[in-house]
Structure 1
Amino acid sequence: MVGSDTNPQPGQIVLIKSGRDAGQYAIIIRLMDERFVMLADGGRKKFDCPKKKNIQHLQLLNYISPEVQTSLEETGRVTNGKLRFALAKYVNEFVYDMKKGVSFNGERRCN
């Protein structure tokens, strides 16, 4: 599912640009206010102990995990396994393709 670059949404995958976790991917699990979000990756940052991060320190990616988004909407929670699965799926499908030099348009992202 394609998301917006300007408004963060729960379930959206982000690339951390600064701080100790710079260069790593995470998923927005909660919006705090207009400046901060809570991130988790299911590994080092679990759902029950997420990382508070300034939106300016994140690169919002045009991908929202439908599994994570649905789980958050229905129950208000998501399992750490589902977070790891969503991140692995994104990295395997999109990041790997970009590193291979395969170009794709926005329609391919909507699976």
Structure 2
Amino acid sequence: MKTEAGTLVKSAAGHDKGSYFFILREEGEYIYLVDGKYKRLDCPKKKKKKHVETLLWEKHSPGDKIRENKKVTDEEIKHFIRCFKREEQVVRR
């Protein structure tokens, strides 16, 4: 799947495996990830594209603001990821 700025992804490798992030930007084979809590907008995590799984999400998210180059806050990102995790747990049961 295509990885682009604003896409919600799940880490598939590394010590952060299973964590959720938004792609802030991409440069070649690397992407820069933010989660609003540990990896904030001012210091994103650099990771290879092949080490993440792209997640499909149809509803409004902070990723929309990232794609449109609008101002987004760490708090918005953190809140969305927390709600997404909660919703995913309900679906799995």
TM-score with structure 2 setting the length: 0.84
CA deviation string 1:37-69 (max 9, x = no partner) = 110100110011000111111111112663313
Q: Is the 8 A contact 1:37 1:53 kept in 2?
A: yes
* 1:6-34 deviation line (CA, Å, top 9, x unaligned): 1112222111111121111111111222x
Structure with higher Rg: it is 1
TM-score by length of 1: 0.72
1:8 aligns with 2:3: yes
Q: Which amino acid aligns with 1:81?
A: E
Query: Does residue 99 of the first structure (1) align with residue 92 of the second (2)?
Result: yes
Equivalent residue runs for 1:71-82 within 5 Å: 71-72=65-66, 73-75=68-70, 77-82=71-76
Of 23-32 and 46-55, more deviation after overlay is shown by 23-32
Against the structure 1 CA distance between its residues 60 and 10, is the aligned structure 2 distance closer, same or farther, given a 3 Å change threshold? same
Extract unaligned runs of 5+ from structure 2: none
What residue number does 1:39 align with? 33
Q: Where do 5+ consecutive residues of structure 1 fail to align? A: 1-5, 101-111
Query: Taking every aligned residue pair, what percent have the same amino acid on both sides?
Result: 26
Q: Where in structure 1 do 4 or more consecutive aligned residues deviate above 6 Å?
A: none
Contact 2:6/2:23 (8 A) holds in 1: yes
